[in-house]
Amino acid sequence: MTLEVRPVRSGGELKRFIRLPWRIYRNEPLWVPPLVYERKRFLDRRKNPFFKHGEAEYFLAWRDGQVVGRITAQVDRDFNDFHQNRWGMFGFFESEDDPEVARALLDAADGWLRERGRDRMVGPMDFTLNDESGIVIEGFDLPPMIKQPYHPRYYQALVEGAPGMVKVQDLYMWNLEVTDREQVLPIVWELAEKLEPEHGIKLRHLRKKDLQAELDRFLEVYNIAWSTNWGFVPIGREEMEHTAKEMKPILDEDWMMACDTADGETVGIALTVPDVNQVFKRMNGRVLPIGWLKFLWYKPRVDRVRVGFLGVKPEYQHTGIAAAMYAEHYRQAARKPQGGGEMGWILESNEAMNRGMEAMGGRIVKRYRVYERLFA
């Protein structure tokens, strides 16, 4: 049977692109179906702010009239301008357990990127490293949290078996539990206690009613604190507003925190969210007719969180801000339904953050691998 990879060119083909995972993961009980309407919006070039500074092509692999795989190829001009490079990315990779399909998909993305003058292909990223990224290589026995990918075990072999695909970076998820408090190094609590009396820096919780002002503070810290990280791309105001609007129904002020100086400058930020994947699992991708009722019923019962962002402006990293935010997470976990969760992802090359997780008594429970193929 002939295998063909071709771009998505109709609404029906886009629907097949979105729906393919339901067949790929039909025997994967831990997989969490995404919300179909959210995936449509995310892939809509008119609605996703990514397309203000990027372009992408969506591909489907067909065999005998059936979709057997998918992939995207994308160019992010903001990323290229910031790093002064000519990288291209791929993402949304899904495939049957067939090396021929995987190679054909990767080659299709490769060809599209070469035509646009790229010098390598890096991924998977959906569409940037701030979205779902990497191939799962460890943690198959754990359900994915919000904005975490989940893959069959054979994906690693498919990607690594394709010509020229090599590891470029691993991403870690660290597990932290309130019951592990005794494992935390004493210096963490000491630094947290000294933050305000010695440095005049006070921890506070973000308020959703002030969300627009908080977004500006978040962006300032994020675009400074993460700027030296591998794969970083600055987040613009429009993209941050779009993300905040999508996430507002799941935000919990108890898990959103900032550290301010005496004159009101925000110098540290932490954004943690309840793991609503526990709710989405029960919705099976549907909001209507009763999916929204399931969301309202099960959301208060979510018992895990994901620490998605925690950063400090470089000139304040010696003050103990990170320690204070870690300590506050433990305090909240002791009183909230969520008694623990996962921190990350964290780059394997980010030695400071990984040492911090060790100091907190954490352990790595998931690894995602990002690959690259250099163009000759």
C-alpha span between 35 and 311 (Å, rounded): 29
Q: What sections of the chain are H helices per DSSP?
A: 11-24, 36-43, 77-83, 99-115, 155-161, 186-199, 211-225, 237-247, 277-283, 291-298, 321-335, 351-359
Q: How confident is the model at residue 141 (pLDDT cuts 50, 70, 90)?
A: very high
Q: How confident is the model at residue 82 (pLDDT cuts 50, 70, 90)?
A: very high
Q: Note the pLDDT of residue 255.
A: 94
Q: Is the pLDDT of residue 150 over 90?
A: yes
Largest Cα span, the chain: 72
Q: Note the pLDDT of residue 129.
A: 92
Each residue of 177-213: pLDDT tens digit? Answer: 887 778 888 998 999 999 999 999 999 999 888 888 8
Q: Note the pLDDT of residue 76.
A: 97
Choose the most confident range, by mean pLDDT, from 104-113, 218-227, 250-259, 279-288. 104-113
Q: Note the pLDDT of residue 180.
A: 76
- Tally Cβ neighbours within 10 Å of residue 16: 17
Q: Note the pLDDT of residue 179.
A: 78
Q: Note the pLDDT of residue 4.
A: 97
pLDDT, average across residues 344-372: 93
pLDDT, average across residues 31-54: 94
The strand pairing partners of 366, in sequence order, are 173
Handedness of CA 325, 328, 332, 334 (dihedral sign): positive
DSSP class of residue 235?
Answer: P
Q: What mean pLDDT is reported for the chain?
A: 93
* Single pTM value for the model: 0.93
Each residue of 241-296: pLDDT tens digit? Answer: 888 888 888 889 999 999 999 999 999 999 999 999 999 998 888 876 777 788 88
Identify the structural domains of the chain with CATH numbers, from first to last.
3-170 (3.40.630.30), 175-368 (3.40.630.30)
Q: What percent of the chain has pLDDT over 90?
A: 73
Residue with tokens 């990514």: 50
Q: Note the pLDDT of residue 200.
A: 95
Nearest C-alpha neighbor of 70 from the set 41, 50, 90: 90
Q: Note the pLDDT of residue 269.
A: 94
